[in-house]
């Protein structure tokens, strides 16, 4: 039987979008909330340089990724799909973080069929390689590019840093339960 294949981003999608904020606040002596982060580029919010932020990321990524909380509803919805769809996680995380990532999935009981850490925000090649039918994302330009270049629906999880106008094919949702309803509608109209 044919199973649709979902491509799912991890950070800010499966994990809570505010995951990084306590670590950033502590390291950069800030008092930011998720609502303060209105752009994906964190440099202006932290009064730092891209180089310093990249060094910080290298140091803190393993800790943050191993401790990241799940987004509300993610576990319930994703695991309800495990027998119905193929779940392919496509993340910008570097490949060197694979063991930490897989351990996090096992620890939280999040079902997966495949995990690909592409090491870049450009996920187009991976989406095409795996013949993804629907993609789930929190990064605005990724969502737009995937929808436009791969001609598949993209579910964009709303955050303060991704509130641009949506092109055709990008569907904004506010939680995983809403995402599940949108998926049911999409599947029903393309069956």
**Three-class SS of 92-124:** CCCHHHHHHHHHHHHHHCCCCCEEEECCCCCCH
Domains of the chain and CATH, by start: 5-16+70-189 (3.40.50.1000), 20-67 (no CATH)
- What is the structure's pLDDT at 1? 57
Instruction: Give the DSSP H or E segment for 59.
Output: helix 50-67
Per-residue model confidence as pLDDT tens digits over 110-130: 999 999 999 988 999 999 999
pTM of the model: 0.96
Task: Give the residue-averaged pLDDT of 14-27.
Answer: 97
How large is the average pLDDT for residues 56-71?
97
State the pLDDT confidence band at 155, using cuts at 50, 70 and 90. Answer: very high
């Amino acid at each position: 039987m044919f199973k649709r294949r979902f491509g799912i981003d991890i950070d800010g999608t499966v994990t809570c979008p505010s995951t990084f904020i306590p670590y950033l606040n502590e390291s950069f002596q800030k008092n930011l909330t998720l609502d303060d982060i209105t752009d994906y580029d964190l440099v202006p919010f932290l009064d730092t340089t891209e180089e310093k932020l990249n060094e910080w990321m290298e140091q803190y990524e393993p800790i943050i990724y191993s401790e990241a909380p799940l987004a509300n509803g993610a576990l319930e919805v994703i695991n309800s799909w495990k027998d119905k769809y193929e779940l392919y996680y496509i993340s910008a995380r570097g490949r060197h973080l694979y063991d930490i990532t897989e351990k996090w999935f096992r620890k939280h009981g999040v079902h997966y069929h495949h995990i690909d850490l592409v090491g870049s925000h450009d996920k187009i090649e991976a989406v095409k390689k795996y013949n993804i039918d629907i993609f789930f994302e929190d990064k605005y330009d990724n969502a737009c590019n995937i929808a436009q270049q791969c001609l598949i629906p993209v579910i964009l999880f709303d955050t303060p840093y991704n509130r641009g106008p949506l092109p055709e094919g990008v569907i904004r949702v506010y939680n995983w339960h809403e995402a599940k309803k949108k998926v049911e509608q999409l599947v029903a109209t393309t069956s």
